[in-house]
Amino acid sequence: MPAAANVRTLRFVLLAFFSVAVLYKVFTSTGPASYASDITSGISKDKAPPTLPKTEVTEHNVPQVAAADTDLGTDPSTSTSTPNLGTITPNDKSFPPAIASGKRANATFITLARNTDTWEIAKSIRHVEDRFNRKFNYDWIFLNDQPFDDTFKQITTRLVSGKTKYGIIPKEHWSFPDWIDQDKAARVREDMRQRKIIYGDSISYRHMCRFESGFFFEHELLADYEYYWRVEPSIKLFCDIDEDPFKFMKENNKKYGFAISLYEYKETIPTLWDTTKQFMTQFPQHIVEGNNLKFVSDDGGKTYNGCHFWSNFEIGSLDFLRSPAYREYFKFLDKAGGFFYERWGDAPVHSLAAALFLKKEELHFFNNIGYWHVPFTHCPTSEEDREKYKCSCNPKDNFDWKGYSCTSRYFEVNGKDKPKGYEYQMN
């Protein structure tokens, strides 16, 4: 009997130990560790980004922004403001000083956002600050067609190491111009809705595309800057950026820089190229020799192949966008009505202008800036670069050399050698 009792006791102990182990596995599998595995396992190009842990933007020991005033949400004692311009919040936070040596370029980050984008832009800011701007402390301008609320300003101000500036978009830059036939525009949106064209029935998306095409660089808050870096909510930067891209643009006379290129939806721009050719005929003085026409056309300019630089990431010259060539081009497109009668995007507009009004050598592909915006990834092709810049991206996700990308064409028409190992990322 004692032997049998000992056996039963041993079985009980083993069963209890096994039960505790199972319960521990169940409860811990839904805890913080699961967030880490989602974030670090590599993002599929067909998936939206995972929700990041809340502590990514909340665990920072920085002073709170002062109580809002009744105008645009900031305390006049800690910021400056003008009625039509917006507000500027100085860098009085507990950030470490910029560690990069040398002079800074006259440049700023620029973001178009709504108050509902607060937590998504917070993620973007952290990527930019952690990978680059904490070393350089460049300013950041936020624009909105409505006043920013206290929460948006509080969160973004405490995350940006430079000055933050908040501006309101003038109504005439975010509305239908007088020459647009509202009934015709409504019929177009309904037709696109039925054909399931992405953003085809959206009015706000059209206002955004028109604003980004022709007006953001005219805003007073950008008046004193020479270069801009566009940042959108929910983007990611995968690699350290030790060299200043703004300074690189300035010193090498670059006017437009990109990280991803691809083909545009033809259904959204059926007459954009015909309108552009009309402009080229009327304003031949703006078409420069040594341009990049071959990047956007396979047949010497007869048709547009759809290739464009993805403008949700771009680093560019504000002087280029303010040039007579670009301003007259946008005005010509705007009068044609394609932003509303079709669904012209700012990406093909910027790209066609850069391809026609700039010389080849004035464009630049930022291979070392690992970048993600749903659903595409740019990851430096070579292992040497990924190691040098401490990249966290999966090279298998790199979009550059896949069939729907135009980056391979960009290299070919510009006589550039493709990076080592590109052929292993084509599929």
Report CA-CA distances (Å) from 346 to 82, 132, 213, 337: 29, 26, 5, 14
334 closest CA partner among 325, 320, 344? 344
Which H or E run contains 155?
A: helix 150-159
3-state helix, strand, coil in the chain (%, to 5): 45, 15, 45
Determine whether 314 is an active site residue.
yes
> Which tokens hold the place of 65?
């922004």
Catalytic residue, from 120, 129, 264, 314: name it. 314
Burial of residue 145 (number of CB atoms within 10 Å: 0-12, 13-18, 19+) = middle
Three-state DSSP at 411 gives: helix
Q: How many CA atoms lie within 13 A of 50 on its CB side?
A: 15
Give the separation between CA 258 and CA 265, rounded to whole angstroms.
Answer: 19
* Per-position b or e across 237-257, b if 16+ CB within 10 A of its CB: bbbbbeebbbbebbeeebbbb
Give the separation between CA 95 and CA 62, rounded to whole angstroms.
Answer: 8
**Long-range contacts for 36-44 (Cβ within 8 Å, ≥24 apart)?**
40/392, 42/393, 42/394, 42/396, 42/397, 43/236, 43/372, 43/377, 43/394, 43/397, 44/397
Contact yes or no for 129/94 (Cβ under 8 A): no
DSSP state of 374: T
User: Which positions are annotated as active-site residues?
Assistant: 314
